[in-house]
Amino acid sequence: MSVEIDIILLKLPNHNIDYPSLSIPTLTRALRNDGITVIQQDVNVELKDILLTQRCLEEITYEFLPAICEYFISDPEEYTRVKNMVIYLNNIDTTIGFGALESVKSQLLERKYKQIFTSTESSNNTLILFTIASLLHNVIDLAITLDELNAPIAQDNVVIRFMKDKIKSIAAINSRIVSFSVLDIQRKATLWFAKRLRKVYQGTIVVGGPDVSIFRDNFIRHYPFINVAFLKESEVSLVKFVQGVPVDTIDGVIYRDIDGTVRINEPKHEPSNSVYRPDFDGFPLDKFLLPTLPISASRGCKWAICKFCVHHQTYTSYYERTASAVVDDIEYFVQKYHTRYFHFTDDMLDITIGTAIARELIQRGLDINILTYARFQNGFTPEILDLWARGGIKVIEWGLESASPRMLKEMAKGISIEKVQTILKDSREKGILNKLMLFHNYPSETIDDFEQTVDFLEKNIEERNVRPFFTIRNKLELRLNSELDHLSQQANQTIFPKRWNTSSIFQSKIEYEDTPDYPVKLHKLEAFLGRMQHLVSSRRVFSTNDENLTLDLVVLDVSAQEDKMCIQSI
Ligand code: SF4
């Protein structure tokens, strides 16, 4: 007897494929707790798993992308961008072979890390595999964009074939509801998919996630195939909706009333109703390149005042769990999914809850490896950092942004660079791998401010206090609804020489004009990166980014037992 499915939760491209995200598995848990039947699918990882095979990489390199080049023949910028992808892939196939990449992917999925990272060839191929996984974002994006434009070239390619088959299979399940979790990088594929699903599926289509919380009623006003949008945390609102509670009585939803008028019920989330432990049952964990699992101890940001930041706006407020509940989850995942790698996805793991978790982990004797984000809070003493390290916190990504005291004050970071330096040294001494998140070009940043940041980073990389990690390449992104956005809109403000207003319904990055000295910064940045290139290759440090965020955990873990490592983290 087939079971009627209430809801299918989908995650569309694009996203990284080193480990899963929390969003859908957490909602799955909330729904299943209430007896709702759920299917959860990560379409992104399923598609990329197929694309990262010899057969598909050959189709992309020798058929799909060359045809797109021809399509863009009169658009030099697009033509060059696509042509460069072809050249890169062609070069990889000629020198390494797509078959070798498929082999190393199999090794990663079989979790044979010692075998991989003690072989120069396998280590290099692993890094190339992650680079190609990142390049696939562009391939998928091109396929979807051109299909939406009805370009003949897009009619038959591996991406569109897979996506169309997926639409058919989702429609065939005939659940009452299909739900999409949306980040900005997933919006294009989600809208493409939902529009085509609508033609073959009679049920209700809903969307939620950070992108929906930012662009709110735009999803309902502009896309008639979407029935309801969920704002902020939707564990409670989505459960009520699936249970059949009238939508006009649910908080945190946007819908059309009987007259077609768009109505917005603002969210009123009650943290005590939050569900945290994700449920990965039915999720394709075996297709992710690393065995890391995400977990969270809190939602929102306890600080939440950095002027450029909008991360904390994803949730209604800041709230956190107890340390024992968090460690219960870790213990459960270790037993159930046989992993020892975790990523705390909290905006920043606050020192108090982080320390309590570390104590609990030590007390329970769990041998695990954690990567977390943190802020340079004043309470980070050598003793606290020692606890964090012994608890299994192996990698910390610290949000520093700039090493100029004046800039830190301007941004409202609430930290002093002297304290930052002390924490970094202490942390490294305790065995934690430090990474610094930085960017350049905050308003009023002078060449001198910029050089202070470069010098600070260079010194700490040379002294091995921090891992080579070059987010300083990133230029300030002026985000819609950040405090900086609001300030720069006020009359008489000269924060930017000029700023433009948003020109599309989904524009979250606001364009601004650089100051005349910006080319000097770029020149200095290039010189710094050139110096670092030499250092990184002499130390055999691998490059890390969003695509392989938790690879450090695995490499550090293997290198603790193996001295013939072919790549290093620091
Ligand atoms: S940058 Fe980090 S610490 Fe600052 S408000 Fe955003 S999440 Fe919080």
Please give the CATH topology (third level) of the domain spanning 290-485+517-539: pyruvate-formate lyase- activating enzyme (3.80.30)
Burial of 359 (0-12, 13-18, 19+ CB in 10 A): middle
How far does residue 390's CA lie from ligand 1's centre (Å)? Answer: 26
**Residue 434 CA to chain centroid, in angstroms?**
19
Ligand 1, CB within 6 Å, residue ranges: 301, 303-304, 306, 309, 311-312, 347-348, 375, 399
Distance 26 CA to ligand 1 centre (A): 23
Q: 365: Cβ–Cβ under 8 A, 6 or more apart, which residues?
A: none
Task: Look up residue 558 and give its two tokens.
Answer: 């293997």
The CA 221 to ligand 1 mean position distance, Å, reads 31
Q: What is the chain's pLDDT, residue by residue, as a tens digit (570 residues)?
A: 567 999 999 999 999 999 999 999 999 999 999 999 999 999 999 999 999 999 999 999 999 999 999 999 999 999 999 999 999 999 999 999 999 999 999 999 999 999 999 999 999 999 999 999 999 999 999 999 999 999 887 778 999 999 999 999 999 999 999 999 999 999 999 999 999 999 999 999 999 999 999 999 999 999 999 999 999 999 999 999 999 999 999 999 999 999 999 999 999 988 888 888 999 999 999 999 999 999 999 999 999 999 999 988 889 999 999 999 999 999 999 999 999 999 999 999 999 999 999 999 999 999 999 999 999 999 999 999 999 999 999 999 999 999 999 999 999 999 999 999 999 999 999 999 999 999 999 999 999 999 999 999 999 999 999 999 999 999 999 999 999 999 999 877 789 999 998 889 999 999 999 999 999 999 999 999 999 999 999 999 999 999 999 999 999 999 999 999 999 999
Atom of ligand 1 nearest to the CA of 375: 3
Helix, strand, coil distribution of the chain in percent, nearest 5? 50, 15, 35
Q: What are the tokens at 561?
A: 């037992």
What is the reported pLDDT for 2?
67
Closest CA to 239 of 28, 480, 522: 28
The closest of 56, 219, 233 to 143, measured between CA atoms, is 56
Nearest CA to ligand 1 atom 7: 347
CB 511 within 8 A of CB 97: no
User: Ligand 1 centre from 304 Cα, in Å?
Assistant: 5
Query: Could you tell me the distance, in angstroms and rounded to a whole number, from the CA of residue 419 to the centre of ligand 1?
Result: 18
Q: What is the best residue among 296, 298, 303, 398 to mutate for testing ligand 1's pocket, by most ligand atoms within 8 Å of CB?
A: 303
412 CA distance to ligand 1 centroid (A)? 10
CB 221 within 8 A of CB 239: no
Q: Which pairs from 76-81 meet CB under 8 Å and 24+ separation?
A: 81/138
- Total residue length of the chain: 570
Q: What is the pLDDT of residue 325?
A: 96
Q: Quote the ipTM score.
A: 1.00
Give residue 171 CA to ligand 1 midpoint distance, Å: 41
- Nearest-CA residue for ligand 1 atom 4 is 306
Which atom of ligand 1 is nearest the CA belonging to 347?
Answer: 7
Sign of CA dihedral 515, 519, 525, 528: negative
CA of 347 to the centre of ligand 1 (A): 7
Which of 301, 402, 407 to mutate to test ligand 1, by most ligand atoms within 8 A of the CB atom?
301
Long-range contacts of 521-528 (CB under 8 A, 24+ apart): 521/440, 521/441, 521/445, 521/447, 521/450, 524/447, 524/450, 524/451, 524/454, 525/440, 525/450, 525/454, 525/472, 525/473, 528/454, 528/457, 528/458, 528/472
Helices (H), 223-284: 235-243
C-alpha 310 – ligand 1 centre gap (Å): 8
Give strand ranges (E) for 418-556: 433-438, 478-479, 509-510
In ligand 1, the atom with minimum distance to the C-alpha of 373 is 2
**Counting atoms of ligand 1 from 1, which one is nearest the CA of 303?**
8
CA of residue 399 to ligand 1 center, whole Å: 7
Strands 319-320 and 298-299: antiparallel
- How far apart CA 442 and CA 484 sit, in angstroms, is 10
Q: Check residue 182 and give its pLDDT.
A: 97
**What is the Cα–Cα distance from 362 to 372, expressed in whole angstroms?**
17
Q: Hey, which of 298, 308, 312 would you mutate to test ligand 1's pocket, going by the most ligand atoms within 8 Å of its Cβ?
A: 312
Report how far residue 174's alpha carbon sits from residue 256's, in angstroms, rounded to the nearest whole number: 23
Please state the atom number of ligand 1 nearest to the C-alpha of residue 304. 5
- Tell me whether residue 543 is exposed, middle or buried, using C-beta atoms within 10 angstroms of its C-beta: 0 to 12, 13 to 18, 19 or more: middle
CA of 321 to the centre of ligand 1 (A): 19
Pocket test for ligand 1, best of 307, 347, 396, 397 (most atoms within 8 A of CB): 347
CATH class of the 7-44+160-272 domain in this structure: alpha beta
Distance 348 CA to ligand 1 centre (A): 7
CA quadruple 515, 519, 524, 529: dihedral positive or negative?
positive
To test the pocket of ligand 1, the residue of 299, 302, 309, 474 to mutate (highest count of ligand atoms within 8 Å of its CB) is: 309
Question: Residues near 161 by Cβ (< 8 Å), separated by ≥ 6?
Answer: none
Domain ranges within the chain, ordered by starting residue: 7-44+160-272, 49-155, 290-485+517-539
- Measured by CA distance, the residue closest to atom 5 of ligand 1 is 304
Ligand 1 center to residue 374 CA distance, Å? Answer: 9
